Amino acid sequence: MPTSHDGPGRKARPRRYLVCEPRYFAVQYAINPWMSQDVPVDAARARRQWQTLVDAYGAHGHAVENVKPVAGLPDMVFAANAALVLGGRVFGSSFHAPQRRPESAEYETWFKEAGHDVYRPESLCEGEGDLVPAGGLILAGTGFRTSRAAHAEVQEFFGVPTVGLQLVDPYFYHLDTALFPLDDGGAAGSGPANIAYYPDAFSAGSREVLERLFPRAVLATRDDAMAFGLNSVSDGRHVFIAPQATHLIDQLAHEGYVPVPVDLSEFHKAGGGIKCCTQEIRS
């Protein structure tokens, strides 16, 4: 593993994350190409990996809050899919798969108890799985889970320009498996924001859009993407990333980011990784 270096132009911003303990995590059904009931999950290892991620957030100065897991909802650990939170406003979820639909109510309850109103989308929408704030925009994925109609709802709710992106590879069924924001722009948010992404996860037109919006983007290989390297979380300086994404780690270190490898390989069996387990609460 390469030794990463601190980039003088990179500035971390403290974040607030919502997570859900994987007490009931298992692969009990198959709703994406990663899932197979024939591949058992090591539950104890999954809990250790998840705790390592939570500890890493805390060690880097980020606040972590927990929603209580619920028996019978094995994918509730994937907190990112529950909502998009911007400016303290919560746009909830409406899951494509019936097995996951009860999760919405559990997260809605948590947000309401924390003092937030929650908007319930009329269209299929899977939260930060397909909704990625970046550079004053909301990048919005579609093709497998979240509907195009939800993009319009998101824009009306937040009043933020929302850019639709077509996903074309079923292995990258959520936008957050193919793209993640690196920073808010410059050392203190003064420059253009940037992202990392895997071009072949997107349609030709969507690739052109991303090239226009983010000409300095870090481009990942398919091996990086298949290792869940793009299901990462960045605080603007530190990038919490799957250690298997070695080429992407090299690129990020070269760009002055500080990779923080965290292995969530047990969660890959369900098609999830670091970002899937992490909901950001943006006040």
Point out the residues that are catalytic.
174, 276
Burial class (CB in 10 A: 0-12, 13-18, 19+), 232: buried
The CA distance from 9 to 187, in Å, is 5
Selection from 20, 34, 18, 26 nearest residue 272 by Cα: 34
Contact present, 165 and 209 (Cβ < 8 Å): yes
Contact present, 29 and 278 (Cβ < 8 Å): no
Q: φ, ψ for residue 246 (rounded to 5)?
A: -65, -40
Contacts for 274 with CB less than 8 Å, ≥ 6 apart: 53, 228, 231, 232, 233, 240, 241, 242, 262, 264
The CA distance from 124 to 243, in Å, is 32
DSSP 2-67: PPP---TT------EEEEE--TT----S-SSTT--TTS---HHHHHHHHHHHHHHHHHTT-EEEEE
Q: Is 253 helix (H, G, I), strand (E, B) or coil?
A: helix
Contact present, 162 and 237 (Cβ < 8 Å): no
